[in-house]
């Protein structure tokens, strides 16, 4: 299927690994000139990106600056993927509302909500001019916060609503905005030592491998497995393409059937 993306430009945040890297790779394979943004640029990202920008997207200055850098590198932005999220697992507590410090709420919202707000506001004038498309990567935790770090599900719920607001305002101007909400995905967030997955495994007193193997059953995932980054990237690429020309303001869940109600 020709997605009609060849020759387009895209800004992808959180692009050094996981879902963001898979999105950058998928778009590049479709002929998109990708500007990949991350705090740390990896060789894998450099291999597929037309340009890379190292930035801290949890700050307004960092988020707005990457848009200027991207425009300078590729001449303008057709497509925006606000993927950066989660956060540093070492600084996240799994406690309850009264246990988790306010600083965690502030840092999680900065990275998972405000980074998308700041980046989108900076990029929108050019995207409107080019009648481009935006995909924001949210999470099923926007609908089921239990099991996620405090503030994460709340921030993702706000991101999903922000996407809907964007669509309502800018669809009449030819800009498509949609959200992709993955469930558990086989990324470093779950697999790396010291990651969120490692913290969860430790809290349950099981190995990380046992946790990942048991998660689909514990979550009631209909497919019996977690998703892979490339599967999420394919969905993102489709939503950015002309093949999805009349899909506006929708939240697309990819979780193997974990959520039982929309």
Alpha-carbon 126 to chain mean position = 21
Say how many CA atoms lie within 13 Å of 260 toward its Cβ: 3
- Closest-CA residue to 159 (of 126, 191, 127, 116): 116
Burial class of residue 43, CB neighbours in 10 A (0-12, 13-18, 19+)? exposed
Burial class of residue 7, CB neighbours in 10 A (0-12, 13-18, 19+)? exposed
- Tell me which of 118, 152, 170, 238 is the catalytic residue: 152
**Crossing angle between the packed helical segments 115-130 and 152-170, to the nearest 10 degrees:** 20
* Residue 152 falls in the annotated catalytic set: yes
- CA angle 120–93–16, rounded 5-degree value: 40
CA atoms of 252 and 139, how far apart (whole Å): 10
Please provide the size of the chain in residues: 262
Enzyme catalytic residues: 152
């Amino acid at each position: 299927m020709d997605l009609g993306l060849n020759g387009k430009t895209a800004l992808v945040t959180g692009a050094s690994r996981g879902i963001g890297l898979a999105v950058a790779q998928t778009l590049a394979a479709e002929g998109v000139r990708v500007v990949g943004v991350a705090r740390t640029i990896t060789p894998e990202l450099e291999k597929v990106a037309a340009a890379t920008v190292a930035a801290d997207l949890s700050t307004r200055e960092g988020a707005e600056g990457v848009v200027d850098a991207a425009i300078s590198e590729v001449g303008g932005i057709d497509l925006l993927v606000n993927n950066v999220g989660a956060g540093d697992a070492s600084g996240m507590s799994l406690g309850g509302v009264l246990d988790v410090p306010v600083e965690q709420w502030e840092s999680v919202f900065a990275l998972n909500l405000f980074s998308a707000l700041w980046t989108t506001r900076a990029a929108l004038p050019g995207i409107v001019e080019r009648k481009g498309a935006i995909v924001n990567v949210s999470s099923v935790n926007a609908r089921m916060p239990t099991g996620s770090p405090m503030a994460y599900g709340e921030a993702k719920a706000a991101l999903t609503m922000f996407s809907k607001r964007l669509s309502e305002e800018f669809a009449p101007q030819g800009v498509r905005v949609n959200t992709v909400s993955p469930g558990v995905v086989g990324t470093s967030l779950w697999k790396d030592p010291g990651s969120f997955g490692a913290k969860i495994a430790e809290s349950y007193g099981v190995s990380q491998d046992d946790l990942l193997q048991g998660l689909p059953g514990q979550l009631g995932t209909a497919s019996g497995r977690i998703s892979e980054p490339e599967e999420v990237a394919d969905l993102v690429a489709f939503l950015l393409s002309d093949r999805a020309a009349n899909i506006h303001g929708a939240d697309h869940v990819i979780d193997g059937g974990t959520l039982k109600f929309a």
